[in-house]
Structure 1
Amino acid sequence: MKKLATIIFIFFGTTLMAQNAYYDALAISQSLDAQNQFGPDQFYILGKYFDNSPEIAREISTNPFLKKYFNPEAKSLDRGAQTGNPKRNVSNYMKGVDVTQFANVLSDIMIEHAKDELTVAFFNRFQKFIEEHEEFKMLFPKTAANFNNLLFYKYSEMLPSLRTSFFEDLNQITYRIDDVLLLPKYRDLLNNFPEVSVTIASLRLIHDLETGNSNAAQLISEFAKLKQWETATSKGMKNMANSLRVAAIFSESLRSGANPISDNDAGLWITPKEIKEFVGNTDAFTIYLGLIYQQFKVNKIQFEVGDTAPKAFISLIDNNMATIEVMKNKVIDFIALADKVNANFRVVNRKTNLSEEITDDEIYNYITLSIDVIDYSFGIVQLFDKNIDSGNFLTIPRAANNLYKDIYSKEYNQAVVHAFDIFLELNRLIGHSANDDKIKKVNKDFFDYIEKARPYALFMANMVNAQSDAEIKAALDNLILPVGSSSVKKYSTYNLAFQSYLGARFTTGGTRPLQSSWNDSFGVSAPVGVSISHGLGKGGAVSLFVPLIDLGAIVDYKLSSDTTGEGETVQKDYKIELGQLFSPGAYLVYGLPWNIPLSLGFGGQYGPGLSKIDTTDGAIAENPYWRWSAFLSVDIPLFNLGNKSKTKKID
């Protein structure tokens, strides 16, 4: 900031002095007409040397160096100029001053400062979101604890610590999803919707498979025996519960007689060879069907189809005896799929007994096939009535397994997506069954949390995935959340500052022949000048902003400049003169409420000569004119010239 202040002092201190014959002579020489003469238009310059005497013309006629250039009837080079137009002539006066370096430095500072303001605002809002949502604290506890100690203006120094907490939380996310669902605020959902309890139980069953505390056959059996199914109220959930019971009966009826614990080559189910021989034995297979038919009857398995009363599964079988032959193929296919699980189970079992490391991919594939076996079992039920809707409860276990893979593969963006897919699926299941207004409200609040939390979690994933400083910077530059950094002026009785605004603007009053960043209807706004503001606390701030120069053309060029194949910015040579930047005017500006560093401005500017920087022609200038516009910009105070704070800051 000291460097900027020095540049600004040199810029305004040397070029706007009361007298500077060098620049004054340049200004006059550049405004000579076709006859190489000047007229009264230059009196505003010459007045500094002739004491603003009304007899300037007579005095010049006696000056041996000036008299040959002076013509009382002469006009300036700009035929549109009017005698005594100080703003037009000030621009001419400053045209000769090369301020390319100053303009580039200041525009770079504005761009970087705007990014920093938005980044600080993001972290501020992130912390507020964590404070207001206990779900996030439960899901990402280390991140929440770290944010309590975050100093936003030193966020760059704290990024390593934040990234560590992001990494640790994302690696444990599979074990904390069910904790979110157990929070008191969702107690009504837990008590009224067994879908919540089933979701929690299914996640824990998947964890048991991951850790080796259960196997695929046990998963089917335990899933079917969950007590939560007994409280099912929706048709889909009741059908799901009974489909699982059917699947469990088939699974248990085809289990291998070998002991998978003592025999490393044993599987969980009989082999394809064994089932082929079994199905080929007509008597044995018919008796088998009779035994499981009796199990369906004893377990009182029934399904709801359409709007009719629940139908016993055995009655569906009785009405579709011709389908029994198809059952043979279903059983054969079931064992073919189960044999793939057997193969994975043998590998896992053998490595466990030999104390060898089991790879994450082996566990993931094993769980995937286990879920596929359950899914295939549901098809047996629909053999007897295709209209049986068993819901889609396996979406959650599949998402949990995909989440497991995302974590060990370090695909943290996908991990966030699958974690929030679990929440969204649960939200959908509840919403499908909810009738009570209170429950609907809680479920809507749950959905709102999911939608608001997802971008923050994705940001955490981007930060963890970043492998270099450049990637970390890119993650910060790509923040998509609403901004929220506070501004000193919003809590001041008055604030006087050297000020800039960087953002977008809309211009009225038609277009000019040359399409440029200055006269397009929509474009970049980057005025720099002085503002005086009055703070409204949480209501924002009101400012009168007087721009002195405009860097819109330069910022527009820098934001859209070409890059090479290696990502390096292509440098173009161009020269910028002070007169091309000079753009006086006035804006009434409203700083948005709370901690949002955005402002709305309405007003006008005159100039500048610099209309556009072209990649081939360099700096392009045209005659300046008045432009009336409105802008929405990031509020960037470069430094305060004076400030009086309110006696009590509004929180």
Structure 2
Amino acid sequence: MLVLLAHTGYAQQTSLYYKAMYLEAQRSPVTHKIPLDESTKDVLRELYAPNTNITVPLLDGNPLLKDQFEDAPGSGVSALRQPLAAVGGLNVTNLADGLAKFLIKRSKEELSVAFFQGFKDDLKKYPELKVLFPNTASFIENIEAYNYASFLQTLREGFQADLMSLPTGLRNLRTLKPAMCLDGNKKCTERLAAIENFFEKNELSILYVASTIVMDSLQAGANIADILHAIAEDEQTDKFQDVSNISNAVLLADIFSGSLRSKDADRVWVTRTELKELKNTDRLKLFFGMILQKCVLEDIKFNVNGNNVSFASLIKAEDTQRYYTYLETIVSAGTEVNQVVKDIRTKKAANEKFTSDNYVQYLNASVDAVQLLVNLEQFKITIPPAQLQNITTTLRSAISVYYNIRAENYASAISNVFIIVDHTLSSSYEHKDKILRYGAFMASIVQAESADQVEEAIEAVALPAGSASIKKSADWNIALNAYLGGFTGREYLAEKVTDRWKTMRGIAAPVGIAISHRVYTASVTAFVSVLDIGAVASYRLDDNTSADLPELKLQNIFAPGGGVIIGLPRWPVSIGYMWQVGPALREISDGSAIISSKVNQRQYLFVGVDIPLLNFYTKPRNK
């Protein structure tokens, strides 16, 4: 082990564990002190500011290093010499038969075009979308929305490229400035100012950026200790060091992690057996003395009961055995990390795949180790449980993003990103749903294995199931709407001479304009009907295979009228009262149409499924 410390140029790359062991080995059996020669000075040099003269009085100023060193009579052999490894009248027979299908299919097509046009418009209004999805943005901005189907494969390739580089896009959100808004749009300016403020003033931005570093570092093959160091070195962590316990916890965790790094490429941290060699009181004092000095150099401090307290001031020589327990928990958790790293290297050497079991094992072991690193109760520093939970949740989600991107399971990756945003950026940014919507859409397109699945993905985002719930969540909504259900009521039959009012029951399928207002978790709708294809719907419920229908004209299904409809909470089911003129088409039976030659009218109560076809206007709920 001592030979490993044989190259001066690499002294600062050796972990404190090996330095403590080396220094202890230099202790004089006569004076019981360590001679301070060039060799031992090299070991200690990284703990002090550059060009500091390492002397015995300087070391005696550290309560744990006091009386452990003495001046050497001459220069010794340099100690750190070897590097260590680190990772109207028209004939509408067919129309009547297929009107519902036509309206729904056509509305989906129109809504798909509208969706892509909306995406294009949003890329202009939301600079953050351009940052997140740069390849998609550059392409969509240069095609007309109605041509999207012709370029779907190219779009798909752009989607995949953006999803693969999503960690970088997420991190680049911190480059956004209000000045990037088109024509100084007020809403955009306020939104980007909120994002800028988040990265400048909210300590949760440390976790947000840390999550993106985790994703990128894992893709590059780094281990958890390397990742922790990258987070500690990032500008976001440094920015909040004077005011944030999270920042200082990360920096301190990195110091302890670095101090326990193993020289073995197959391991991240030292083993339990190696750690036991440090348990000697003098060695522990050396180890924690260097930790103390490192904390002084890095200015590690925590807010305790409203006061900033230097972490170095909390380290006491008499408590080193208690601190050893902290090291034991880390190394214990690190043992499993070491094993997984070794297994992964073995699999790579044998060209075997990194399985989901390996992933779950690595995820749990790494998160457990980090959780223990930032749990500083042995040093009388308490990180609030909610903050600890936030750290581990963000870390787990970030590792999950990496794994899901690697497995090309992009939809799950987007869901994991949403969790990260929800735990960090959510309070500063109220438009995360838009990121989720477009991200999930892109993921669905990339993962689609057939043209039908691509179509389903577009339909799902353009007109998602559950559109009826918009009426119950928005203050106001105007839409082209249909209802399909059973009714009972009274009808005025003009062709009769007597008993013109008749009770009737059947299937109603009115199509028209719905103006809706939210009432608690329900909705009230003023509905103006234009058509009613209830007779055709009733026929198709009985026989959905026949290709032949009687000849129909548009006036046969024309049914102007109005009504009031109540949308029930939670379900896309409505109860309503309707008054209508017509429709003239009364029934289809045995291939023949029964059509009234007179203008009839009816009023009825119905219970039906609410089917929005095309949304015209939505006013969001006031919060």
Partner of 1:533: none
Q: Is the 8 A contact 1:246 1:296 kept in 2?
A: yes
3-state SS, counterpart of residue 424 of structure 2: helix
Q: Is the 8 A contact 2:486 2:506 kept in 1?
A: no
Partner of 1:271: 271
Partner of 1:207: 216
> Deviation of residue 294 (structure 1)?
5.8
Distance in 1 (alpha carbons) for counterparts of 2:383 and 2:459: 51
Q: Is the 8 A contact 2:135 2:162 kept in 1?
A: yes
1:460 is the counterpart of 2:442:
yes
Distance in 2 (alpha carbons) for counterparts of 1:102 and 1:221: 67
Q: Is the 8 A contact 2:225 2:268 kept in 1?
A: yes
> Deviation of residue 180 (structure 1)?
2.6
> Deviation of residue 393 (structure 1)?
4.2
Q: 1:345 aligns with which of 333, 341, 346?
A: 341
- 1:338-382 deviations in whole A, cap 9, x for unaligned? 122223334555678x69687486688657644442222112346
Distance in 2 (alpha carbons) for counterparts of 1:350 and 1:555: 64
- 1:1-34 deviations in whole A, cap 9, x for unaligned? xxxx9xx85x38xxxxxxxxxxxxxxxxxxxxxx
User: Normalized against structure 2, the TM-score is what?
Assistant: 0.58
Partner of 2:38: none
Distance in 1 (alpha carbons) for counterparts of 2:299 and 2:367: 25
Q: Is the 8 A contact 2:275 2:328 kept in 1?
A: yes
- Paired residue type of 2:253: A
1:243 is the counterpart of 2:249:
yes
List aligned pairs for 1:251-266, cutoff 5 A: 251-256=257-262, 258=263, 260=265, 266=266
- Paired residue type of 2:271: T
3-state SS, counterpart of residue 333 of structure 2: helix
Name structure 2 gaps, 5 residues minimum.
1-87, 179-191, 466-479, 492-502, 514-527, 564-577, 616-623
Q: Is the 8 A contact 1:341 1:370 kept in 2?
A: yes
1:219 is the counterpart of 2:198:
no
Q: 2:482 aligns with which of 503, 512, 522?
A: 503
- Paired residue type of 2:556: F
Percent sequence identity is 23
Judging changes above 3 Å, is the alpha-carbon distance between structure 1 residues 203 and 613 closer, same or farther for their aligned structure 2 residues?
farther
Partner of 1:176: 169
Q: 2:506 aligns with which of 516, 528, 541?
A: 516
Q: Is the 8 A contact 1:254 1:269 kept in 2?
A: yes
Partner of 1:334: 330
Partner of 2:152: 159
Q: Is the 8 A contact 2:347 2:354 kept in 1?
A: no
- 1:405-435 deviations in whole A, cap 9, x for unaligned? 111212111122223333333324xx4xxxx
Partner of 2:301: 302
Distance in 1 (alpha carbons) for counterparts of 2:318 and 2:306: 18
Judging changes above 3 Å, is the alpha-carbon distance between structure 1 residues 360 and 150 closer, same or farther for their aligned structure 2 residues?
farther
- Paired residue type of 1:473: E
Distance in 1 (alpha carbons) for counterparts of 2:350 and 2:612: 62
Q: Is the 8 A contact 2:579 2:603 kept in 1?
A: yes
Judging changes above 3 Å, is the alpha-carbon distance between structure 1 residues 126 and 117 closer, same or farther for their aligned structure 2 residues?
same
1:232 is the counterpart of 2:240:
yes
- 1:499-545 deviations in whole A, cap 9, x for unaligned? xx762499999678655332xxxxx32489xxxxxxxxxxxxxxxx9
- 1:442-486 deviations in whole A, cap 9, x for unaligned? x3xx422x2223212212222222212322232233235699xxx
Q: 1:145 aligns with which of 134, 138, 141?
A: 138
1:605 is the counterpart of 2:581:
yes
Q: Is the 8 A contact 1:546 1:586 kept in 2?
A: yes
- 1:204-259 deviations in whole A, cap 9, x for unaligned? 465234314x5433333443344544432896xx2122222332333233333x35
Judging changes above 3 Å, is the alpha-carbon distance between structure 1 residues 451 and 577 closer, same or farther for their aligned structure 2 residues?
same
Name structure 1 gaps, 5 residues minimum.
13-98, 261-265, 432-442, 484-500, 519-523, 529-544, 563-568, 590-601, 637-651
List aligned pairs for 1:273-292, cutoff 5 A: 273-276=273-276, 278-279=278-279, 284-285=283-284, 288=287, 292=291
Partner of 2:380: 384
3-state SS, counterpart of residue 506 of structure 2: coil
> Deviation of residue 114 (structure 1)?
2.7
Distance in 2 (alpha carbons) for counterparts of 1:457 and 1:122: 14
Q: Which has the larger radius of gyration?
A: 1
1:626 is the counterpart of 2:601:
yes
Q: Is the 8 A contact 1:334 1:373 kept in 2?
A: yes
> Deviation of residue 190 (structure 1)?
4.0
Q: Is the 8 A contact 1:123 1:152 kept in 2?
A: yes
Q: 1:447 aligns with which of 430, 445, 463?
A: 430
> Deviation of residue 182 (structure 1)?
1.0
Judging changes above 3 Å, is the alpha-carbon distance between structure 1 residues 267 and 604 closer, same or farther for their aligned structure 2 residues?
same
Partner of 2:121: 128
Distance in 1 (alpha carbons) for counterparts of 2:378 and 2:397: 24
Q: 1:525 aligns with which of 483, 494, 510?
A: 510
> Deviation of residue 144 (structure 1)?
1.9
1:582 is the counterpart of 2:556:
yes
Judging changes above 3 Å, is the alpha-carbon distance between structure 1 residues 164 and 206 closer, same or farther for their aligned structure 2 residues?
closer
User: Normalized against structure 1, the TM-score is what?
Assistant: 0.56
